[in-house]
């Protein structure tokens, strides 16, 4: 099985120290069968989980692990490794390795190679759910995204420690697909540092130093393993808001329901499916300066979802008992020590758009409601444009119809101005 993109490509795989390191051996095999050349660097911790001999046998090349090797480093081997590759893949990318990457620490062969490279880096995080959701990790991921590092995963599921949530390393074939996507664009890093420079200093936006949490997309509430209650939200507006907030200098955490969109530049993405998972991720992301609830969260879920597919039979359609989902926006906006300084929500309405939004503003306790019509013919769900009304305690602003990125830019400007005057 040969891939036209991967054929003869040169991949440097850095294996970090985590239980998921065993998946990296399968990744090597999948890359090699598609025609890629693979060289491997292992951290000392990685060798506690998989052997250098296994990685060497699968890659067909000696594994590198020693920054102070008298043989390789006599010719500056870490420089040669970093420059000879078309793409550097870090899998698993542990919390420790991501932290060192973000801080530019070079204290072993893996971290030194990453600092010395002029090529793109693709990271596949793997760690305990609490480590992944910890603000320090999310800060590091946001820094790396801003520096141009691409990410695949982490996936959500049960972990070796017995906990459940985001943190599982992406499966090898998903990483292969991400590598193929990365190789379709230039893999040379612009060594200016990734940020526009002015007078020798990084540019600053109106939200520099602020943490913005955005929810986006739908939630899927399971009926059984193959069916769910959901809605038609595409996530486009929420993703545009996350990108606009990052461009304004903020550290952005995007909590996304199931959508088929690429990660917005500069944002750290946490993927969820249900409303309860979204609420847990939002609470874990706090403290934050700004919360924007752009997700179209399902109001109800099935009280007791079936663990087997419901079959069609002579008894007819099953009876489903529904219960209310948690109100994410109201819980975030509730007065508490962790309440963000500014909380904004969305109101997708089919009638009486502004009046319903005014009632929602009061009921939820937030600072702003972005109201829009999703009635038939509006083209908002899944469409490229939006027409919104900005509802606050001081009044209503109605904006002309514009693209969703334009709405996002204007809304972030609005929020930044409010933050500045708070």
- Among candidate residues 399, 17, 403, 38, the one with its CA nearest the CA of residue 243: 403
Q: Considering 76, 136, 160, 161, which one is annotated as catalytic?
A: 161
Cis peptide before 66 (omega within 30 of 0): no
- Among candidate residues 94, 147, 100, the one with its CA nearest the CA of residue 123: 94
161 is catalytic: yes
According to DSSP, residue 74 is labeled G
For residues 380 and 347, the answer to whether their CB atoms sit within 8 Å is no
| Rg of the chain in Å (alpha carbons) | 23
In the block, residue with structure tokens 């893996």: 110
How far does Cα 83 stand from its chain's mean position? 28
Distance CA 289, CA 105 (A): 29
> What are 44-50's contacts with CB under 8 Å, separation 24+?
44/17, 44/108, 45/16, 45/17, 45/18, 45/94, 45/96, 46/15, 46/16, 46/17, 46/18, 46/21, 47/17, 48/17, 49/17, 49/18, 49/19, 49/21, 49/22, 50/15, 50/21, 50/22, 50/24, 50/25
For 325, the 3-state DSSP assignment is: coil
Distance CA 347, CA 389 (A): 10
Distance CA 128, CA 166 (A): 8
Distance CA 86, CA 11 (A): 6
Distance CA 11, CA 176 (A): 11
For residues 170 and 178, the answer to whether their CB atoms sit within 8 Å is yes
For residues 412 and 380, the answer to whether their CB atoms sit within 8 Å is no
In the block, residue with structure tokens 């141009």: 148
The residues assigned a catalytic role are 161
């Amino acid at each position: 099985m040969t891939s036209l993109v991967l054929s003869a490509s040169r991949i440097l795989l850095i294996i970090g120290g985590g239980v998921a390191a065993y998946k990296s051996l399968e990744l090597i095999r999948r890359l090699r069968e598609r025609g890629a050349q693979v060289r491997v660097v292992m951290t000392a911790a990685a060798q506690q989980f998989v052997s250098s001999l296994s990685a060497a046998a699968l890659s067909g090349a000696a594994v590198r692990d020693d920054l102070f090797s008298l043989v390789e480093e006599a010719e500056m081997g870490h420089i040669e490794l970093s420059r000879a590759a078309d793409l550097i893949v870090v899998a698993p990318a542990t919390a420790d390795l991501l932290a060192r990457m973000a801080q530019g620490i070079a204290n072993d062969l893996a971290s030194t190679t990453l600092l010395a490279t002029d090529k793109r880096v693709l990271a596949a995080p793997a760690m305990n759910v609490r480590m992944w959701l910890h603000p320090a990790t999310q800060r590091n991921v946001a820094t790396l995204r801003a520096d141009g590092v691409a990410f695949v995963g982490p996936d959500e599921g049960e972990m070796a420690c017995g906990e459940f949530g985001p943190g599982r390393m992406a499966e090898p074939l998903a990483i292969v697909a991400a590598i193929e996507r990365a190789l379709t664009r230039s893999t040379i890093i612009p060594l200016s540092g990734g940020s526009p420079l002015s007078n020798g200093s990084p540019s600053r936006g109106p939200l520099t130093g602020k943490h913005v949490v955005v929810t986006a997309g739908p939630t899927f509430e399971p009926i059984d393993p193959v069916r769910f209650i959901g809605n038609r939200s595409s996530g486009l507006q929420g993703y545009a808001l996350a990108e606009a907030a990052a461009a304004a200098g903020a550290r952005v955490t995007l909590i996304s329901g199931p959508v088929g969109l690429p990660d917005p530049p500069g944002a750290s993405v946490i993927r969820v499916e249900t409303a309860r998972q979204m609420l847990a991720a939002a609470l874990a992301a706090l403290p934050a300066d700004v919360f924007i609830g752009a997700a179209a969260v399902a109001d109800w879920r099935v009280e007791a979802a079936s663990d087997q597919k419901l079959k069609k039979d002579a008894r007819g359609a099953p009876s489903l008992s529904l219960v209310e989902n948690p109100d994410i926006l109201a819980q975030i906006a509730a007065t508490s020590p962790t309440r963000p300084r500014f909380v904004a929500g969305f109101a997708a309405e089919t009638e009486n758009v502004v009046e319903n939004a005014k009632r929602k503003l009061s009921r939820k306790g937030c600072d702003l409601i972005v109201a829009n019509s999703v009635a038939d013919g509006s083209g908002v769900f899944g469409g490229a444009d939006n027409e919104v009304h900005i509802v606050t305690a001081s009044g209503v602003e109605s904006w002309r119809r514009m693209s969703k990125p334009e709405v996002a830019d204007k809304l972030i400007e609005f929020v930044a101005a409010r933050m500045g005057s708070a």
